[in-house]
Structure 1
Amino acid sequence: MQKPKLGFWNIWNMSFGFLGIQFGFALQGSTMSRIFETLGAAKDDIPLLWIAAPLAGLIVQPIIGYLSDHTWHKTLGRRRPFFLIGAILSSIALLFMPYSSEVWMAAGLLLVLDASINISMEPFRALVADKLPESQRSYGFVVQTLIIGVGTWVASNLPKWVNNTLEISNEAAPGVVPDSVKVAFGVGAFVFITSILVTIFTTKEYSPEEMAAFDDAGEPEEKKGMLETIMGTYALMPTIMKKLGVVQFFSWFAFFAMWTLANPALTTHIYDAPKPDIVEYAQLDDAGEPILDADRVTLFLNDQSAADYKTADKAYNEASDDVGSKMGIYGLTSMLFALLLTFYTSFKAINRKYIHMASLFLGALGFLYMFYSPGEPDNLYISFSLIGIAWGSILSMPYAMLSSSVESSKMGLMMGVFNMFIVIPQIIAAVGGVVLLHNLIGEESIHAMTIAGIFLVIAAFSNLLITNKKAIMYQPVLENE
């Protein structure tokens, strides 16, 4: 028996929770490095402080994938219990994150936030394969990408909008996160839980019996424990997954470089407004640390030093707001790219491999162009627009190619295992890979964006490894209707 095809609004509702998930990821991606810098982290230490995020994914994703494959709740179904648990935990972490007073506290909350987002996100990928027939899966992943694009654009602009529209200050004392960022994270927490609830209340899942009756259910799997099943999946990884994994490795290394170092790189190289070092303006103790008064307020050298620090910090915060806003462009263009694919794939066949390859080349051009744009913030519209095309493809094409080549009954686990090709490159980048590579070019942090461009070029060429015709070719949704 074939799964029935779903209409646009059914697919939209089942994917709508990704809006909240992407609010969490976008606030994290556009603002976490700013928070770390505000709390006193050195530029080259920032990628390592991010390591909690990919580590959480490496551990959580396959476990949640396995558990969601083997869960059935009479009210919430198979995937939705995990949507709800992850949403509650993520919203709490978002609320507390900007109130961190120390770097270690922010890094710890980042671990909680990323692990919680993964609890919600991982089953969303599998839900597309659960609910949609083969002919609609690319369509389903593209709709998810459309929603992700909206979330990225809006969430990345939140701190700037809060400051400009609500007139909530983006300035704060040394070591304190501005109120505009705190409000933005609060809005993010509300959107996260609300959008997940929309999906939970509007989407019905197929029961295990219904899933078993569909043609793509595959053979009943042998009963094994979770650890044995996960390790067995790693050992017997399909060839298509390995080849796609190479593409994913270089793609996600590039984007991790952007998320961790775009703010220090661009505020310095494009805006000439780096985060001011409080040590240059404050009175210092014998250990070279700023002296605080009884109210834990920094004592400056004199009134002029205090004014100079405030001016430099204001310039940095305004530049950071603008960097975050312009980063949101990649979400907007990924949304438009996804919308174009949605309409096109409704009527025409596509070659997923070559679309993904071309998209990654355009993203690489966007990263490389940043180096040639000092003092030209408007050029970032071009860079992030091109990066958005790559991002839109990264969020849809690899998953569509993979879902066409694995059994539906193991889709959650397969998606979880596949995501190791997302988290491993991020871990390598975090422990020094991105800093080491960009220092080979030069000490300026803008070279992290150059490395991102080079890695996307390698990712693009890696698509040539993919030869599975079933994965590559996609037939239109309306075929035979």
Structure 2
Amino acid sequence: MDMHTKALKPRLSFWQLWNMSFGFFGIQFGWALQNANASRIFSTLGADADNLSLFWLAAPVTGLLVQPVIGYASDHTWHPKWGRRRPFFFGGALLAAIAMFLMPNSSMLWMAVAVLWMMDAAINISMEPFRAFVGDKLDASQQTAGFAMQTFFIGCGGVIASLLPQILAWLGVSNVPVDGAIPDTVRYSFYAGALVFFLAVSWTVFSADELPPPDLESFHKERKHARNLNVAFVEILSGFTKMPKTMVQLAFVQFFTWIGLFAMWIYTGSAIADTIYGTRDAQSAAFQEAGNWVGVMFGVYGGVSALAAFILPVFARATSRKIVHATCLAIGGISLAGIVAIGSKEMLMLPMVGVGIAWASILTMPYAILAGALPASRMGYFMGLFNFFVVIPQIVSGLLLGFVTREFFNGHTVQTLALGGGCMLLAGVLTLFVTDKAGS
């Protein structure tokens, strides 16, 4: 048996769960600003709609490279004051804050793309150990609640960040690009996001503690061995052959889930501008208004996910985690595909409710199911490896969705959203075949 699995983990209070999860408020603040505004920034700086998916490759590629390495490194880190995961929380937050300040000040397209790579790498450094943090600190009976608390903060951060450009516009801040520059509403939103990201993650770093390895002497011997680069490289790659059965099954679910999500993040802005506002001109006021409305839409799904985060575990106890996840993915897929039939901007809020229900489950149930199937001493590594099945579908989407949109949908990105919805629905069906031995 793994030496870490024998350690008795104390049951944490509500506020301890709150403190250890609060950093995700800042992390999602950064992700939400990116998801709602990156395509808008690229388009404003002259990007063609056909190429948007290629520019978005920064997120999955950096995740593919960074998360397994950071997970492996954090597994073999221990400091009496900083612990195991918290050094990575803090370092990533500092780098992400710098990138978020630079992003809206990009004056050329290539600069924005380069800063996006930096921002995504930094966010991944900070985010990856948070998943393992739950497995480290919580007994199996509290892990679903721990991931649900993270989902709550993800929802709250997503709501505020997504709405921020629209709120600033209501307050009189200019939403019009002048001489091709990024609108002030977007610029000031990213400045606020940099501050929120750093402060929220710092709250968790300084308010939460970590459990030391039960046998420090054995841990230090293992860490010394792990620092050999050849050994580390072999161990990182060999993990693919040692994945638990549950992890393999969830990989297929994640693949189709994240094709749907990536399609939504890339193309909702251009789809709504085209179908609701009647424009494809990124320099027009109507296109920028569509960008703000997409922020409102994303705020709705973030808000719904925050509310659903604490309801879904109740349904999971009454049924099972995989039944809940399958149902939520089906609701989200049907909702996303349904955007193609909507002609009113107000009615667009309805499918976002369904997407929010799916988002809450996506951020909770797969990780709760997976945590019970992983060895405790390699929790960070396997959580990082699991991210491969989040980023690989995004890379596939980045390479193919532009071609599919152009060749099969005649450039109408709303149809790409429908395709994404279909993929999410398929993921729901595949969830029914996942083995969850830990139950709810």
Classify the TM-score, shorter chain. Answer: over 0.9
Q: Are residue 404 (structure 1) and residue 379 (structure 2) matched?
A: no
Q: CA deviation at 1:210?
A: 6.8
Q: Is the 8 A contact 1:438 1:447 kept in 2?
A: no
Q: Are residue 455 (structure 1) and residue 426 (structure 2) matched?
A: no
* Structure 1 residue ranges, 4+ long, deviating more than 4 angstroms after superposition: 210-213, 220-224, 342-345
Q: CA deviation at 1:386?
A: 0.4
Q: CA deviation at 1:12?
A: 0.9
Aligned residues: 428
Which residue in the other structure is 1:286 paired with? none
Alpha-carbon distance in 1 for matches of 2:58, 2:9: 39
- Structure 2: which 5+ residue stretches go unaligned? 1-6
Which residue in the other structure is 2:3 paired with? none
Which residue in the other structure is 1:115 paired with? 121
Q: CA deviation at 1:207?
A: 1.2
Q: Which residue, out of 310, 321, 325, partners 1:356?
A: 325
Which residue in the other structure is 1:324 paired with? 295
Q: CA deviation at 1:436?
A: 1.4
Q: CA deviation at 1:221?
A: 9.8
**Identical-residue share of aligned pairs (%):** 42
Which residue in the other structure is 1:68 paired with? 74
Q: Which residue, out of 51, 62, 73, partners 1:56?
A: 62
Q: Is the 8 A contact 1:19 1:151 kept in 2?
A: yes
Summarize deviations over 1:79-118 as a string: whole Å, max 9, x none: 0000010000000000010011111111110000000000
Q: Is the 8 A contact 2:50 2:411 kept in 1?
A: no
Q: CA deviation at 1:464?
A: 2.4
- Structure 1: which 5+ residue stretches go unaligned? 278-312, 475-481
Summarize deviations over 1:138-164 as a string: whole Å, max 9, x none: 110011001000011110001111121
SS at match of 2:47: coil
Summarize deviations over 1:24-45 as a string: whole Å, max 9, x none: 1000000000000000000010
Which residue in the other structure is 1:300 paired with? none
TM-score normalised by structure 2 residue count: 0.93
Alpha-carbon distance in 2 for matches of 1:22, 1:210: 35
Summarize deviations over 1:123-180 as a string: whole Å, max 9, x none: 0000001100011001100110010000111100011111212x21011224210111
Summarize deviations over 1:284-303 as a string: whole Å, max 9, x none: xxxxxxxxxxxxxxxxxxxx
Alpha-carbon distance in 2 for matches of 1:211, 1:338: 36
Q: Which residue, out of 108, 124, 131, partners 2:130?
A: 124
Tell me: CA distance 1:236–1:464, structure 2 relative to 1, closer, same or farther (3 Å): same
Q: Which residue, out of 154, 159, 171, partners 2:176?
A: 171
Which residue in the other structure is 2:310 paired with? 339
SS at match of 1:371: helix
Q: Which residue, out of 187, 196, 201, partners 1:191?
A: 196
TM-score normalised by structure 1 residue count: 0.86
Between 460-469 and 19-28, report the one with greater CA deviation. 460-469
Structure 1 residues 3-402: aligned runs within 5 Å: 3-165=9-171, 167-209=172-214, 223-224=225-226, 225-276=231-282, 313-341=284-312, 348-374=317-343, 376-402=344-370
Summarize deviations over 1:248-304 as a string: whole Å, max 9, x none: 000011111111111001111122233257xxxxxxxxxxxxxxxxxxxxxxxxxxx
Alpha-carbon distance in 2 for matches of 1:387, 1:178: 28
Summarize deviations over 1:202-244 as a string: whole Å, max 9, x none: 101111237999xxx9xx8994522111111112222111110
Q: Is the 8 A contact 1:439 1:447 kept in 2?
A: no
Alpha-carbon distance in 2 for matches of 1:83, 1:438: 40
Q: CA deviation at 1:2?
A: 2.1
Letter of the aligned partner of 1:59 in structure 2? L
Tell me: CA distance 1:324–1:211, structure 2 relative to 1, closer, same or farther (3 Å): farther
Q: CA deviation at 1:52?
A: 1.2
Letter of the aligned partner of 1:354 in structure 2? I
Alpha-carbon distance in 1 for matches of 2:26, 2:166: 19
What is the root-mean-square deviation of aligned Cα atoms in Å?
2.0
Alpha-carbon distance in 1 for matches of 2:398, 2:51: 9
Q: Is the 8 A contact 2:77 2:84 kept in 1?
A: yes
Alpha-carbon distance in 1 for matches of 2:52, 2:72: 32
Larger radius of gyration: 1
